[in-house]
């Protein structure tokens, strides 16, 4: 790492690149904020194009159909991506790597599923990808210590009555003793530091706070990229102590309180309150820019101070980001999301519904034409029960007739919604609102077509995002794990404790996503029925009766078809299926003359059966 003074010379070079990337991103930010507002179902003001004033006497509602589409697609992607564990299988690239691949697969599955709950992380990250069209995830290593209070047996420190007891760690202080002068041992609360986290971390980034080389199409071909986060002074001090290993020159750092303007603009655009500057200096936030190249890492605080400049600390020597898009735009870094695709259709749907509401309102608020010069009070023209209008001539007042029939408008709305479903692929069968009048063949065909589209999207996510994250985690494990890890993993017969050493996770591996399932709903129901029929046909076969373990495995497949995960609690284990067989000794009971049976562990009924067999053998 270069000295910090020398690093300041390169500050302007980094800032020029970062600002160029941010300027490029600004061209997308208006679109993303618009997508955000549509997903939040925010109503834009109606402005008269002639007067430029807000129109308040017209209906102005927004139909949350974009929200419905996004929230229908998102669970399908998450459920399809994480249908079963392990989420990613690891295969040895060479034959000698295969044993280590299996050990690392157990470790990776524990980290993804138990340590960090990658399913929940992806639920949040894929929502951003669906809304804005692009998702970017950061993968790094997080080490964190935490001070906690634990009880442990130790000597009680002798203190005055008015003082709080101070518990020593090493027992070197004075002790409270009993009558015989022996220290009194008690269970006492003790403050201690524990390692709260020493594992990989994965987080999806706010797209408004991520920047990349404007000429790039992906992370790998970008000359540089990075992200921004906001930290307190205390967090920065912990960072310089735990990770960087050197003190910051705080006199060189601007103490201006920084705000996440992107978040504030996004929230204020839908009428939500935005954060303001902190009153207390301790709560002030610093803007921290993480700038990465393949062989370099730079950290800049408040755009005035280079806090770190040095080689990429990760052995994989890659920028620690992966990204994917919902719909790829050839040659461009950012993709298209669901909201952008159906943006105009949402406007048309809102217009159609508002016109219908206005039409109904006009039809209920009667209008009259009154002969000029007639002596009719305007108050008499109010439509009211039992109302009377006094006229000199029957032609003095006539009502404007408004046709009440607006049935054709409903067909127009259905057509718009169908266009939106066609654009997103989330048809009625996907939303769980399939037309009951359709034939099963028609429903299955639609479900198959929708599943093909989602399979393509999920396949991209698992190969770019999930597998990319898993590969970074594997490389970080090989770098940072230097001691044995003891893991509790779910096994067929309950939880098992597995010990994995640093040597067992080394090697070169290939990754295969395993958790994906995009089976059409209709096909899945048909599959369940076929599995039941298959079991009824095969379970009574002579071979299945002869080999009960094979019949158990078949039943396990049937249970899994119904998405039952904990099959081990329902099916017998090998020990239960094949209990030890009791042995018959050659010795003879001198009283009965029968062979003496030695019961094996778990004998019971089997022992009685063997005794009965012995009786039959003897006559």
Spatial separation of the C-alpha atoms in residues 95 and 436, rounded to whole Å: 54
pLDDT 10s digits, 235-289: 888 888 777 767 888 888 887 888 888 888 888 888 888 887 766 667 789 999 9
pLDDT of 164 reads 43
Phi, psi (degrees; rounded to nearest 5) at 9:
-65, -30
Residue 470: how many other CB atoms lie within 10 Å:
29
Strand 225-232, strand 210-212: pairing: antiparallel
pLDDT higher than 80, residue 28 = yes
Domain match, 525 and 553 both: yes
Question: Which range, of 74-88, 409-423, 487-501, 583-597, averages the lowest pLDDT?
Answer: 583-597
Query: Looking at the structure, do residues 560 and 588 belong to the same domain, yes or no?
Result: no
Q: Is residue 589 in some structural domain?
A: yes
Task: Answer whether residue 531 is part of any domain.
Answer: yes
Q: Which residue has the higher pLDDT, 146 or 388?
A: 146
Q: What percent of the chain has pLDDT over 90?
A: 37
What is the pLDDT, as a whole number, of residue 239?
Answer: 84
Query: Which pairs with CB-CB distance under 8 Å and at least 24 residues apart come from 82-85?
Result: 82/118, 82/119, 82/122, 82/515, 83/515, 83/516, 83/517, 84/514, 84/515, 84/517, 85/109, 85/113, 85/514, 85/515
Residue 429 has pLDDT above 80, yes or no: no
For residue 381, tell me if it sits in a domain: no
Q: Per-residue pLDDT averaged across 545-550, rounded?
A: 85
pLDDT above 70 covers what percent of the chain?
78
Helices 467-480 and 98-110 sit at what angle, rounded to 10 degrees? 100
Flag whether 97 is in a domain: no
pLDDT at 32 over 80: yes
| Highest-pLDDT range among 70-79, 310-319, 516-525 | 310-319
* Better pLDDT: 104 or 545: 104
Q: Is the pLDDT of residue 159 over 50?
A: no
Residues 6+ apart with CB under 8 A from 316: 472, 475, 476, 479
* Cα gap 192→280, rounded to integer Å: 30
Residue 260 lies in a domain: no
427 with 396: CB under 8 angstroms? no
Compute the 3-state secondary structure of the chain and give helix, strand, coil in percent, each to the nearest 5. 45, 20, 35
Task: Beginning with the edge strand found earlier in the chain, give each strand of the sheet holding 296-301 in spatial order.
Answer: 210-212, 225-232, 285-293, 296-301, 305-310
Please state the rounded mean pLDDT for residues 143-150: 84
Higher pLDDT, 498 or 597: 498
Distances (CA, A) of 603 to 91, 548, 606, 608: 43, 19, 5, 8
- Tell me which residue range forms the domain holding 543: 521-565
Q: What does the DSSP 8-state code read for residue 466? A: I
Asked if residue 122 lies in contact with residue 467, where contact means CB atoms within 8 angstroms, the answer is no
Burial class for 147, CB neighbours closer than 10 Å (0-12, 13-18, 19+): exposed
Average pLDDT, stretch 412-441?
A: 73
Residue 293 inside a domain? The answer is no
Total domains present in the chain = 2
* Dihedral sign from CA coordinates of 568, 571, 577, 579: positive
User: pLDDT class for 531, splitting at 50, 70, 90?
Assistant: confident
Tell me the pLDDT tens digit for each residue of 118-139.
Answer: 999 999 999 999 999 999 999 9
Residue 535 belongs to some domain of the structure = yes
- Assigned domain for 243 exists: no
Kindly report which listed range (32-36, 71-75, 255-259) carries the lowest average pLDDT score.
255-259
Burial class from Cβ neighbours inside 10 Å (0-12, 13-18, 19+) for residue 29 reads: middle
Model confidence band, residue 1 (pLDDT cutoffs 50, 70, 90): very low
CA–CA separation, 108 and 89 (whole Å): 9
More confident residue, 9 or 130: 130
Determine the distance from the C-alpha atom of residue 111 to the mean position of all C-alpha atoms in its chain, rounded to a whole number: 15
């Amino acid at each position: 790492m270069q000295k910090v003074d020398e690093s300041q010379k390169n500050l302007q070079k980094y800032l020029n690149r970062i600002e160029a990337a941010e300027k490029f991103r600004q061209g997308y930010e208006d679109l993303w904020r618009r997508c955000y507002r549509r997903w939040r179902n925010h109503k834009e003001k109606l402005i008269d194009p002639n007067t430029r004033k807000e129109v308040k006497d017209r209906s102005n509602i927004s139909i949350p159909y974009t929200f419905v589409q996004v929230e229908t697609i998102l669970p399908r992607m998450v459920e399809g991506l994480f249908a079963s564990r392990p989420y990613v299988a690891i295969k040895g690239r060479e034959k000698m790597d295969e044993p280590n691949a299996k050990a690392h697969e157990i470790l990776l599955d524990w980290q993804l599923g138990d340590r960090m709950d990658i399913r929940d992380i992806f639920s949040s990250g894929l929502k951003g990808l669906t809304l804005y069209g692009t998702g970017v995830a950061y993968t790094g290593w997080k080490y964190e210590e935490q001070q906690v209070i634990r009880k442990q047996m130790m000597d009680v420190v002798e203190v005055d009555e008015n003082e709080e007891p101070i518990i020593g760690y090493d027992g070197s202080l004075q002790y409270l003793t009993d009558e015989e002068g022996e220290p009194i041992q008690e269970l006492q609360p003790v403050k201690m530091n524990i390692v709260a986290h020493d594992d990989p971390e994965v987080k999806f980034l706010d797209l408004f706070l991520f920047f990349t080389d404007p000429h790039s199409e992906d992370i790998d071909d970008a000359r540089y990229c990075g992200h921004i986060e906001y930290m307190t002074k205390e967090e920065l001090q912990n960072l310089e102590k735990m990770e960087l290993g050197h003190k910051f020159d705080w006199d060189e750092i601007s103490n201006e309180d920084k705000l996440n303007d992107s978040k504030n603009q996004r929230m204020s655009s839908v009428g939500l309150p935005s954060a303001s500057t902190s009153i207390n200096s301790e709560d002030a936030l610093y803007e921290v820019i993480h700038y990465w190249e393949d062989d370099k890492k730079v950290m800049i605080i408040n755009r005035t101070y280079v806090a770190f400049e040095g080689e990429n600390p990760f052995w994989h020597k890659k920028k620690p980001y992966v990204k994917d898009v919902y719909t790829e735009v050839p040659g461009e870094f950012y993709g298209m999301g669901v909201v952008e695709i159906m943006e105009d259709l949402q406007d048309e749907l809102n217009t159609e519904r508002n016109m219908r509401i206005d039409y109904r309102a006009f039809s209920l608020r009667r209008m009259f034409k009154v002969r000029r010069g007639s002596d009719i009070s305007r108050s008499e023209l109010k439509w009211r029960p039992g109302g009377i209008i006094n006229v000199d001539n029957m032609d003095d007042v006539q009502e404007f007739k408004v046709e009440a029939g607006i049935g054709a408008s409903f067909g127009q709305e259905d057509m718009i919604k169908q266009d939106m479903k066609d654009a997103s692929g989330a048809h009625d069968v996907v939303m769980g609102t399939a037309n009951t009048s359709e034939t099963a063949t028609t429903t299955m065909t639609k479900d198959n077509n929708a599943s093909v589209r989602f399979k393509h999207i999920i396949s991209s996510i698992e190969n770019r995002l999930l597998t990319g994250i898993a590969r970074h985690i594997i490389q970080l494990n090989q770098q940072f794990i230097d001691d044995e890890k003891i893991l509790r993993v779910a096994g067929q017969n309950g939880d098992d404790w597995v010990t994995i050493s640093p040597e067992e996770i080394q090697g070169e591996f290939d990754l295969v996503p395993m958790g994906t399932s995009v089976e059409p709903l209709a096909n899945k129901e048909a599959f369940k029925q076929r599995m039941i029929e298959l079991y009824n046909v095969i379970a009574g076969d002579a071979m299945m009766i002869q080999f009960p373990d094979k019949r158990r495995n078949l039943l396990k497949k049937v249970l899994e078809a119904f998405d039952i995960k904990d099959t081990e609690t329902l099916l017998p284990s090998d020990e239960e299926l094949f209990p030890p067989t009791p042995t018959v000794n050659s010795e003879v009971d001198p009283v009965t003359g029968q062979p003496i049976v030695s019961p094996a562990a778990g004998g019971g009924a089997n022992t009685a059966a063997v005794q009965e067999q012995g009786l039959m053998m003897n006559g």
